[in-house]
Structure formats: C-alpha cells, structure tokens
Amino acid sequence: MFALTSAALFGPGPVLYCSDVTRRTIVCLVLTTVGCTPPPEPDGPYEGSCPILIECTAQRSNDPVLEASNLAAYGEDGSCWNSGHYHWQACRDSCVAAIDSLNEASLAIGLSSCGTCERNSDCAGFEAASCVDGYCARKRLGDIGDDDSGDAAETDTDTETGGSGDDCLSDDTPDVVLDTSLGVMRLGLDSVAAPEATQVFLQHVSADYYDNSIIHRVVEGVLIQGGSYGPGPTLLSSEIAPVELLTPSTLAHEPGVIALLPSADGTRVGPQFYMTVGPTSPSAMASGVVFGALIDADGTEVLDAISSVPVTTVAWSGFQLTNIPEQDVVVYEAYCVAQ
C-alpha cells in the first residue's frame, strides 16, 4: 500500500465546514495524476503505481461523540484504502456516511445541524444543497447529476449558490466562480471595459466548457493558465466561435486579474485564459485582454496555492507541455452567480 494525502499532493483541499463549533471538517477530494486512466469499472479496485483516487478524510474533533462518529465512518486510519488497493465505491459510501453522521451527531449534542452548504469559500466548492443524507458528497463524487433534484428540492438555498447557464446570459453582468481542486475563486467581470472578452468567457461558462478542465500551465509567482486541456492531458474543443476584438481593454495587468489569450494576429479571443499572480506582468502578457479580477481574499489564497504547485514537462502530440502541474489542478465547475 502506498500512502497519499491531500496535503502531500496539493496542500489543503476542498473542505466542508458544517459547524464551526464542532471543529470537525470533512474532505472529499478528487485527486488525479497526469497520464493516468481510471479502472474500467467505477467500483474498482484500481491497482498500480499511478493513483487516481477519491480521498475522504476527517479531522478529529475535541468532542468524543463526533470523534466516535468519525471513526465509525472512516476507520482508525481515516482512509479508504483496503489491502493495498483502492475501492472506489467503498470510499464513496464512507464519504457520504461521514457527512450523514456529522449532521446527526451535531444534533444529538445540541449543536446546529449542517443546514445548507452554501457555494462559497466556507464550503469550498460543494454544490448548494442540504448536507443531510450526504448530498454534497454524492454530488461531488458524481452520484447525483445536475438535473437530479434529490435532497436539494427540500432545502432552501441562497440565491448566490449553484448558478446556471441562464445566470451567465442575464442583462446584468454576473460574477463567475471557478470551483477548483484547491478551492474556490470568485471573479468580478467588467463588460464595459472588455465587452468581447467578457462575452466569450460567459458563453463558454454557460456551455459548461470549463467544467472538469485543468490548469495546464503554472509559472510560480507570475501566472496560471487554463481553458485548453482536460485531464490526461486531452485537448478541449469548443463549438463557440472566437469573438472579434473591437474594444481594446483598458484594464491593467495587476495581481489577481483574469485575461483571455488572443489569436496569433491579435484580432479575436477564444476560451483560453490566464490569471496573474505577481505584482508585475512580463511583456509576453501585454497582448492579453484583461476582463475581470478576483473579488475576495479567499480567492487570492487559492490562486497563490495553485501558483505554488510542483510542475513538470509532459510530452504530448509531438511537442512538450512545460510548466504543467505534476498533479492535475482541476476546474470542477465554472458557473455564474448574481453580483
């Protein structure tokens, strides 16, 4: 058996805080490595030196009731490993069970229940829905689809959570949330200063183009880049035509901005984006069309975390992809929310 943790690979992963009082968190994190392929059956087991896993761990609580609940759901080692290989379904089940037991145990000792998991930094990217019955975990693990009402129908959720394609195409320019494997980043867009770039970005968000894509280039302290590849890496294909640039962006390359890469002749923009990390931008970024920026400190922390991941070079289709993260940084979902 080989041991992997989210901290070892990525640092802190997506965390669901159901109650600040309990001091207990649940992590259901999808981890992948470049070049790996899943087992042929979703139940696994997957064996080999190149792991693809869904890691479910729980931090211990100071409360004995919650600690007992944690151990019952995860086992003494807090993991989903079994006899040297990984059982996918067992990990799914234990992750869901842990969220169930957290809500139940919280109520039993007089604490507030999970209530709703709002789609923000406190929930680190879980779907807006009830924690009861493990909805958040099952949604993240793919057991519940986007059209599946499930437990969520019984739960009132905040208007800023969830999001939909219609939110992207409303009259008022929405914010966009990038839900990544290292946390959530919320972006404010400027459709006045950069109308074409904002338009094409929102079109791709509305079409779910960025969902399950990867950040394929990281230059520490400078930028991160995405919108071109999925895990593997595999090249993404967009059915949305590039948009002609008619309005030069007047927005500066400052830390935390997002920009689209233009075509070679500089006349059009497509879906590939980058986000700046450092206080200055290299000349190579001068042609990028800035159209938005991070709007909170939590997003900045996530951007810094992504910028700090180890990188490597991967041979792909006859050329080299440089500065690609050693472990995939996945954009689970990009979605629009009202300002």
Rounded Cα distance between 290 and 141, Å, is 34
What are the DSSP E strand ranges found in 116-200? 116-117, 129-130, 175-180, 183-189
Residue at 160 is within a domain: no
Query: Are 90 and 82 in contact, with CB atoms under 8 Å apart?
Result: yes
β-sheet bridge partners, residue 163: none
Task: Give one word for 330, left, alpha or beta, with left for phi > 0 and alpha for psi -120 to 50.
Answer: beta
Phi, psi dihedrals of residue 79, rounded to the nearest 5° = -130, 175
Task: Give one word for 298, left, alpha or beta, with left for phi > 0 and alpha for psi -120 to 50.
Answer: alpha
Please tell me the predicted confidence (pLDDT) of residue 238. Answer: 87
Q: Which of 52, 70, 53 is nearest to 61 (CA)?
A: 70
What are the DSSP E strand ranges found in 195-329? 213-219, 223-226, 229-230, 234-235, 243-244, 257-262, 268-276, 289-294, 311-316, 319-325
Does residue 52 share a domain with residue 23?
A: yes
Last residue of a domain, one of 100, 122, 154: 154
Please tell me the predicted confidence (pLDDT) of residue 226. Answer: 95
β-sheet bridge partners, residue 292: 189, 258
Does residue 306 share a domain with residue 253?
A: yes
Does residue 112 share a domain with residue 44?
A: yes
Please tell me the predicted confidence (pLDDT) of residue 250. Answer: 84
Please tell me the predicted confidence (pLDDT) of residue 271. Answer: 93
Count structural domains, the chain.
2
Rounded Cα distance between 35 and 204, Å, is 26
* Distant-in-sequence, close-in-space partners of 150: CB < 8 Å, separation ≥ 6: 129, 135, 138, 144
Range of the domain at 286: 165-337
pLDDT beneath 70: ranges in the chain:
1-167, 170-171, 279-286, 317-318
Query: Are 94 and 50 in contact, with CB atoms under 8 Å apart?
Result: no
Does residue 284 share a domain with residue 174?
A: yes
The DSSP 8-state label assigned to residue 46 in this structure reads B
Rounded Cα distance between 31 and 10, Å, is 9
Phi, psi dihedrals of residue 99, rounded to the nearest 5° = -70, -40
Predicted TM-score (pTM) of this structure: 0.54
Residue at 22 is within a domain: yes
Q: Which domain CATH number covers 325?
A: 2.40.100.10
- Helix axes of 88-108 and 64-74: crossing angle, nearest 10 degrees: 160
Query: Are 162 and 168 in contact, with CB atoms under 8 Å apart?
Result: no
Does residue 238 share a domain with residue 116?
A: no
Please tell me the predicted confidence (pLDDT) of residue 217. Answer: 92
Rounded Cα distance between 113 and 103, Å, is 5
Does residue 267 share a domain with residue 195?
A: yes
Residue at 84 is within a domain: yes
Rounded Cα distance between 135 and 155, Å, is 11
Does residue 295 share a domain with residue 178?
A: yes
User: Hey, what are 43's tokens?
Assistant: 């139940």
Q: Any alpha helices (H) in 10-133, and if so which ranges?
A: 64-74, 88-108
Residue at 1 is within a domain: no
Cis ω on the peptide bond leading into residue 45 (within 30° of 0)?
yes
Please tell me the predicted confidence (pLDDT) of residue 195. Answer: 92
